[in-house]
Structure 1
């Protein structure tokens, strides 16, 4: 729904932009939560060091990869903006490809891996999402999110008396930490439900409505993920929704998957029908839009009577919108850019 209460952001004046950097570095991923790096490339890592810290794991459902290691407390500095944060890092010593993973049962275990790699290299993922615990990320709570655990900005400590509101904005310029009246101007917000933990910064996924074609929207228990980590879209729809599909290889895993045929129109609305702060649609296979607009190169579809309706937009969404996640107030904001 639309945010029912207004928030006066004018009392908050501290923010900082972390610009995107066209250089090999950690991928910013709103589909996961926590900084994930290879143990092989973690400074001074040893088995003895790892054993002093809690076992950690995260499963990435889009790629079917299960990362297992230890949560090692660390200080992180974003050098471009002189921002310091402090969070545990998932330092990965084993990686599985685990297509049969059960997120409520398996934890750090993969019973039937199709690939197992000890001490994998070149893992560098900066997960800054929320409400992802149900999807293989049971440990992906706000205490792991670098953007929600800022210690200082340009040497100035962040504390309860600072004019700093915990949250972030994603725009084409980069990531803005700290919400103010200026950087929230023009956004339309929806309220989020409380998350699964007692952490006051923990919030449920964004409510949405989805449809393919001109049938009624599916909105009951429907959620959306605006995912910077992938370029394809994932849809879960009820069996009655008419979709035309064919089989092709997933862009993430190479496995055969059901994808929408070209020519069908997908529509996503955020919030509830009739009370939407934002929404958009596209025609599958519109190559001009694939190159420059919101149309993803692939729409992977699951028809299910047991799974909740869901859309993972993929990163093409961000060609048309800026977003804000207000972790202090449980609000998600949209502003169209084109």
Structure 2
């Protein structure tokens, strides 16, 4: 996010049924046996079977935003146990294949037992071929993002083009936030009309910024460019945008304060300027209680490429969701654009009344080779640094420490990498085991003991905001209908560790 927000409640792994498989590996020394084993493995892997299980939830294909949705299933990828004659040093849980390129170690004692490696299963979305409404929206600043800041999109807001610099897009928050001065001077706003709408707010916990204003229903247009450089309309949506006339620095904000900070250290009012767009999910916690899916521009689209996708009996079928990449945003999931992703289930937000209202994705994180703890992950486009919260953060912060990230769990069936945080005096930097994904630095908070968050909860928070350089190594996708988050590791993002 443009000002990072941490998750204020303990995250747990999805409560839906999860399927695991095991690779059972024994080891012997003789080379002939090794070669035979590899040959058998080459025959065996193609015939590895998947369990035929009913999915925990089926996937809705949104057809014209009506309630007569088609139903489509999920496919769970698992494998039956495999017994080999060699001890393999590592297994890639993301490929269902055993890595035989590493060293093979002989059994040292006759009594040595087989090694069991458990890999978390993953989900494949299966979307019908006739669901094909999709569009790619290029970023204005492909050379800026992911390394040095958020991407921007060409947009028209309330009938006024925002300019060739575009509007910054942030996955760390939800909803468009516009200063009153920007609204009046640039976007043809009418303040006497704005104040008729609901008073609202948005709080960003890392920066302690509280925006207070009114949620004003607004029409948005996402643009691309034709070959001759002229603007073309790609998506149209209608959402409430937060037009704020008051801005606080509020270190002790709690949600019961609402739109007014009880003890601000700084405050501005009047014709404040500012503009950015949040398209993240699961952001209601931690001070964004009003940032529900109805505020997300990408979840409230009514026109795509000039074709209406709303209303009864509309032939333009689409699956509601989007993919974030290093150089563009893809709206609308299809069988073609999801086939390389591996997916995890998301939990519903507590007390959710909107079918699109899903909680954050989960991961497990270990610090300095300690225990892996369940937590939440925010793959943020808005900032180049990483934010880490855990009761295992070293105190005091040492010159360097390791942060091992596994998505969604210790087996890393969707993805994972290791960040090494470094600090020399006031100079903080970081390295990563995956090329390109090292954040500029790591801001860490030890949450051991009792920690109170913006919602008034008490918890030992485990949370990772990856920072924007995550997108040098991965693409990620959000299925807003069925509640899934998909990850695809880029082939160009190779490991630097042996």
Q: Tell me, yes or no, if structure 1 residue 134 matches structure 2 residue 275.
A: no
Shift of 1:99: 1.4
Q: Which digits, 9 at most, give the CA deviation of each residue in 1:211-244, with x for residues without a partner?
A: 111111012xx11111111222121112xx2625
Q: Tell me, yes or no, if structure 1 residue 179 matches structure 2 residue 333.
A: yes
Q: Does the C-alpha gap of structure 1 residues 242 and 38 become closer, same or farther in structure 2, counting only changes over 3 Å?
A: closer
Q: Tell me, yes or no, if structure 1 residue 28 matches structure 2 residue 169.
A: yes
Max Rg structure: 2
Taking the TM superposition and a 5 Å limit, the aligned residue runs for 1:172-251 are 172-196=326-350, 197-219=352-374, 222-238=375-391, 241=392, 243=394, 245-246=396-397
Q: Which digits, 9 at most, give the CA deviation of each residue in 1:248-301, with x for residues without a partner?
A: xxxxxxxxxxxxx443111111223236311111222366769x7212122122
Let me know the Cα RMSD of the aligned residues. Answer: 2.2
Q: Tell me, yes or no, if structure 1 residue 297 matches structure 2 residue 415.
A: no
Q: Which digits, 9 at most, give the CA deviation of each residue in 1:77-104, with x for residues without a partner?
A: 01215210110111111111111112x3
Helix, strand or coil at the partner of 1:82 = strand
Helix, strand or coil at the partner of 1:140 = coil
The answer to whether the 8 A contact 1:284-1:295 is kept is no
TM-score, length-scaled by structure 1: 0.88
Q: Does the C-alpha gap of structure 1 residues 223 and 46 become closer, same or farther in structure 2, counting only changes over 3 Å?
A: same
The answer to whether the 8 A contact 1:189-1:277 is kept is yes
Taking the aligned partners of 1:245 and 1:177, their CA distance within structure 2 comes to: 44
Number of paired residues? Answer: 319
TM-score, length-scaled by structure 2: 0.61
**Which of 36, 49, 60 is residue 193 of structure 2 equivalent to?**
49
Q: Tell me, yes or no, if structure 1 residue 19 matches structure 2 residue 135.
A: no
Shift of 1:50: 1.8
Q: Does the C-alpha gap of structure 1 residues 335 and 262 become closer, same or farther in structure 2, counting only changes over 3 Å?
A: farther
Helix, strand or coil at the partner of 2:413 = strand
Q: Which consecutive unaligned segments of at least 5 residues does structure 1 have? A: 247-260
Taking the aligned partners of 2:340 and 2:289, their CA distance within structure 1 comes to: 34
The match for 1:266 is 403
The match for 1:60 is 204
Taking the aligned partners of 1:19 and 1:145, their CA distance within structure 2 comes to: 19
The answer to whether the 8 A contact 2:421-2:431 is kept is no
The match for 1:78 is 222
Shift of 1:57: 0.6
Shift of 1:330: 0.4
The answer to whether the 8 A contact 1:85-1:147 is kept is yes
The answer to whether the 8 A contact 2:393-2:444 is kept is no
Helix, strand or coil at the partner of 1:300 = strand
Helix, strand or coil at the partner of 1:204 = coil
Shift of 1:171: 0.6
Q: Which consecutive unaligned segments of at least 5 residues does structure 2 have? A: 1-13, 20-54, 56-73, 76-124, 142-163, 225-232, 423-428, 450-458, 494-498
The answer to whether the 8 A contact 1:35-1:125 is kept is yes
Helix, strand or coil at the partner of 2:470 = helix
